[in-house]
Amino acid sequence: MRLFDLALKKDSELAWAHMAMAYVYSFGRLADRAKATEHVDAFFNLCPTSYDFYTNRMLGSHGSPQLQKKVAAALRERVQAETDPEVLGIYEHLWTLEFKVTSPTEHAELRKRIAEDVRHIRKLAPHPDLVLTCISQRTFA
């Protein structure tokens, strides 16, 4: 922790050092929600369209609402251009984040957008039923 802190004092744009500090502050005896949020926000301000599973989970649990909304928009833009079926799992994070930052009154529209995403996934994935089953079991269970 001390080394990450020193590294960030030398260069505050070391995104992964911010994420490491966020993990430290997210649980255990050093848990500090405000500090975890500060570091998650710093990471995503540097890497707003991360496809990393764990960083996106940290965003959902510790990111500030303003940043979550900003990242959801940036991530939506990135996945719409995606053609690699290997990274389709990012939709799980995108959809979860979009539902979190979208007013319940707008969820019907969001569901329509997700249906479009599913059509996109089916075009890309060699075994779309398997991919969609895995995504939907984790996202909507």
116: CB partners within 8 A, 6+ apart: none
pLDDT at 141: 40
**pLDDT(140) > 50:** no
**Alpha carbons 90 and 6: distance in angstroms, whole number:** 32
- Indicate the number of domains in the chain: 1
**Alpha carbons 63 and 117: distance in angstroms, whole number:** 24
Range of the domain at 20: 2-139
The tokens for 117 are 């995403």
Q: What is the mean pLDDT of residues 15-36?
A: 95
pLDDT at 83: 83
- What is the pTM for the complete model shown? 0.78
